[in-house]
Structure 1
């Protein structure tokens, strides 16, 4: 997922938006990546989700 960065540490999943060239604006592609990420988090059984955060200093 090029638009997001997912990191799971124990029961916590961290999701960072990664579209600095577009100032992390919402797009259909980003929305689809968020949906896919949610499914991945569910499969990994993370109990807590922390987002949105940002990659490379732009939110």
Structure 2
């Protein structure tokens, strides 16, 4: 692509300001990102609403198993 700004190769030794392992602790804690389909995102627009709905679903599933 002629307008592509990405190089085939980068010399990371010339980059400054990077911190190795900056997010490793957060990663090890189990951070989980999920991409919602647009219809689901409209119904559950916040992190709290998604978690509340999933917790309710878990409770319902547990009651059905009893």
TM-score, scaled relative to structure 1: 0.34
Higher share in strand: 1
Please tell me whether Structure 1 or Structure 2 has the larger radius of gyration of its CA atoms. 2
TM-score, scaled relative to structure 2: 0.31
Higher share in helix: 2
